[in-house]
Amino acid sequence: MKYRHDKVSDVQIAYIGGGSRGWAWTFMTDLALESRMSGTIRLYDIDKEAAKANEIIGNHLSGRSEAVGKWEYKTYDNLNEVLEGVDFIVISILPGTFEEMAVDVHMPERLGVYQSVGDTAGPGGMIRALRTIPMYVKIAEAIREHAPNAWVINYTNPMSLCVKTLYEVFPKIKAFGCCHEVFGTQKVLKGILEDTYGMEGVSRREIQVNVLGINHFTWFDYASYKGIDLFPVYQEYIEKHFAEGYKERDTNWANACFACAHRVKFDLFLRYGLIAAAGDRHLAEFMPGNEYLKNPEMVSDWKFGLTTAAWRKEDLKNRLEKSRKLLAQETEVELKPTGEEGILLMKALCGLERVISNVNIPNSFGQIPNLPLNAVVETNAVFERDAIRPVVAGKLPDAIKALVMPHIENHDYILEAAQNCDRETVVKAFINDPAFAGKNCSREEIRSLAYDMIDATMGYLPGGWK
């Protein structure tokens, strides 16, 4: 990197999963809108044709007159080459295909287990992790050899296990996980504040929060706006609007399939006293399976949705068609801020800003003192030149800690299972998971499900599983 007049040039960014038809365009947009950084985006993907498409799309975008951030996009053939000498590494991959995800999400329905996402918690999240961990072992080994001082930004789910694997393989890695779910809850608080006080133009970033928990099961125990304690405001709004929930105004960060009325987070506030800070479809999967995900009718009553594999396949078709149009220049990437913070955090790590944002890293500093030190937790952190300084968020209340701990235990079980190709440790994690609460299924039925799900994803598992 080269510094000059409060700008940094020749920034080298490796993008693993650079053939993405979606997130990559978000990344490109934010880069094109940032005037204080420039450099090279090195694209690497097992689907080289997809990466080459994004090379063309990215270079065309960077060449537009309104793109103030100038970047050169290049496709690389192998992992070691793309990493050599880079400053930042972005990892955003799909472990497997939507055929495997169909198994993750829908096979557990034979035992009455419904999953609204299936990529983080529950049986679907755990089987996805078994596919993902071997990939992350290889990535971490390559980073250790070719870019040990680079900052590594992970966007892949299951977030906690991806970050945990990186540190397990390379303890000195400078890796962190980025997730926008906290931003979505800040937007809800912003909207409720505007409704309550007749305000306009409140910025999401002006909603100050203390973040604590694990990815997709995060909580606020503090929320404030310019001296206003938002907890009483939130409680009063819930008491008036619990039945209908809250209607999203700004859905830039989501889409119709992911929309919810936030009734699950309203209910969790009434039960536990903290503001649950993720989308309802994520929050529901961390709770006992008979509470919000008993059946599709219950899901509908709580006003969120089940993200089916069929929807994801249809969405992929739409994104492939968008990729074709972008390549043919029949359409353009829209240049407006996406609301993500990845580029802002890179600027801070380059020394151009000082930023406080939520981050997923190991609990090594005791950010949440009553959770294990080896757990990957989500709290705020200060980002500044070549440093991330996690904020000590404080203890989780005992009742919420009791909800979190089975998932932290399962992170350990699944990492162990992936390392040892051990089916029975996967079974142990399934039995421990709250998704099976109230489902009236036997241990043997759960074991059979675990074995069948492992067999169904065998094409993406190391040979030791066979």
Q: What is the pLDDT of residues 269-278, one digit of tens each?
A: 999 999 999 9
**Lowest-confidence region among 78-82, 176-180, 247-251, 403-407:** 247-251
Q: Residue 317 to residues 24, 92, 98, 253, 322: CA-CA distances in angstroms?
A: 16, 19, 12, 20, 9
Task: Give 256's pLDDT tier (boundaries 50, 70, 90).
Answer: low
Whether the per-residue pLDDT at 146 is higher than 90: the answer is: yes
Task: Give 22's pLDDT tier (boundaries 50, 70, 90).
Answer: confident
The C-alpha atoms of residue 396 and residue 225 are separated, in whole angstroms, by: 23
pLDDT of residue 258: 74
Which two tokens mark 94? 């799909």
Give the DSSP letter string of 193-234. Answer: HHHHHT-----GGGSEEEEEEETTEEEEEEEEETTEEHHHHH
Whether the per-residue pLDDT at 81 is higher than 80: the answer is: yes
Length of the chain, in residues: 466
Whether the per-residue pLDDT at 253 is higher than 80: the answer is: no
Work out the average pLDDT over 65-87.
96
The C-alpha atoms of residue 60 and residue 423 are separated, in whole angstroms, by: 48
The C-alpha atoms of residue 362 and residue 377 are separated, in whole angstroms, by: 6
**Is there a contact between 116 and 281 (Cβ–Cβ < 8 Å)?**
yes
Whether the per-residue pLDDT at 204 is higher than 80: the answer is: yes
The distance of Cα 223 from the centroid of its chain, to the nearest Å, equals: 22
In this structure, the number of other CB atoms found within 10 A of the CB of residue 246 comes to 21
The C-alpha atoms of residue 254 and residue 398 are separated, in whole angstroms, by: 32
Task: Give 352's pLDDT tier (boundaries 50, 70, 90).
Answer: very high
Least Cα distance to 175 among 84, 80, 83, 90 occurs for: 90
Give the DSSP letter string of 314-364. Answer: HHHHHHHHHHHHHHTTSS----S--S--HHHHHHHHTTS--EEEEEEEEST
Phi, psi (degrees; rounded to nearest 5) at 162: -65, -50
Query: pLDDT digits over 160-179, tens only?
Result: 999 999 999 999 999 999 99
Higher pLDDT, 314 or 106: 106
pTM > 0.85: yes
Phi, psi (degrees; rounded to nearest 5) at 230: -85, -10
Select which of 106, 180, 282, 411 is catalytic: 180
Query: pLDDT digits over 384-411, tens only?
Result: 999 999 999 999 999 999 999 999 999 9
With a CB cutoff of 8 Å and minimum separation 6, the contacts of 124 are 101, 104, 105, 108, 115, 117, 118
Whether the per-residue pLDDT at 466 is higher than 90: the answer is: no
Q: Residue 273 to residues 219, 261, 304, 397: CA-CA distances in angstroms?
A: 10, 19, 22, 9
Task: Give 251's pLDDT tier (boundaries 50, 70, 90).
Answer: low
Work out the average pLDDT over 52-64.
95
Mean of all residue pLDDT scores within the chain: 94
β-bridge partners, 2: 9
Three-state SS at 161: helix
Percentage above 70 pLDDT, the chain: 98
The C-alpha atoms of residue 70 and residue 64 are separated, in whole angstroms, by: 9
Work out the average pLDDT over 432-457.
96
Whether the per-residue pLDDT at 15 is higher than 80: the answer is: yes
β-bridge partners, 37: 8
Catalytic-residue membership of 180: yes
**Fold observed for domain 2-177:** LDH C-terminal domain-like (3.90.1820)
pLDDT of residue 1: 84
pLDDT of residue 252: 45
Q: Hey, what's the torsion of the CAs at 260, 432, 158, 413, to 10 degrees? A: 170
Query: pLDDT digits over 28-41, tens only?
Result: 999 999 999 999 99
